């Protein structure tokens, strides 16, 4: 079975600085998608960024980028120029090939941003 592990329960970053959140996963599949979701205190999960496993190029969305290491099964999220609004829970998720659509989530990393 696929699993997703986020080893950092909490992280803190100074405003305007850069922070990296870690995620590792376990799978025997070669074709899959990976996601980072943000969950602010409002509870609503928001998609931050998506990576397709067959693409070697790391995905980027404005201040958010990933470091995807397929062989190491690692998928970290880098947030540049951190803003107060980035404070939230961040979840890494896996979507398997052939899956009927459900995402497999890690336990999350709580990010605090210090002014």
Partner 1 sequence: GAGVSQSPSNKVTEKGKDVELRCDPISGHTALYWYRQSLGQGLEFLIYFQGNSAPDKSGLPSDRFSAERTGGSVSTLTIQRTQQEDSAVYLCASSLGTARTDTQYFGPGTRLTVL
Residue (43 or 115) nearer to partner 1, CB: 43
Q: How far apart are CA 105 and CA 34, in angstroms?
A: 10
Binding test (CB under 8 A) with partner 1, winner from 43, 71, 72, 115: 43
Q: Which residues neighbour 17 within 8 Å (Cβ) at sequence distance 6 or greater?
A: 81, 82
Q: Is 11 in the site for partner 1 (CB under 8 A)?
A: no
Binding test (CB under 8 A) with partner 1, winner from 36, 68, 75, 91: 91
3-state SS class at 74: strand
Residue (6 or 82) nearer to partner 1, CB: 6
Binding test (CB under 8 A) with partner 1, winner from 2, 50, 64, 78: 50
Burial code (b: 16+ CB inside 10 Å, e: under 16) for 5-39 equals ebeeeebebeeeeebebbbbbebeeeebbbbbbbe
- Only segment of 22-30, 62-70, 71-79, 95-103 that touches partner 1 (CB under 8 A): 95-103
Kindly state the smallest distance separating residue 4's Cβ from partner 1, in Å. Answer: 7
């Amino acid at each position: 079975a696929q699993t997703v592990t986020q080893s950092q329960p909490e992280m803190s970053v100074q405003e305007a600085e850069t922070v990296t959140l870690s995620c590792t996963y376990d799978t025997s599949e070669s074709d899959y998608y990976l996601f980072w979701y943000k969950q602010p205190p409002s509870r609503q999960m928001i998609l931050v960024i998506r990576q397709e496993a067959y693409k070697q190029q790391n995905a980027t969305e404005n201040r958010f980028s990933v470091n995807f290491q397929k062989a190491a099964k690692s998928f970290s999220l880098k947030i540049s120029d951190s803003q107060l609004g980035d404070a939230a829970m961040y979840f890494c998720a896996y979507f398997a090939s052939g899956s009927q659509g459900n995402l497999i989530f890690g336990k999350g990393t709580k990010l605090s941003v210090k002014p």
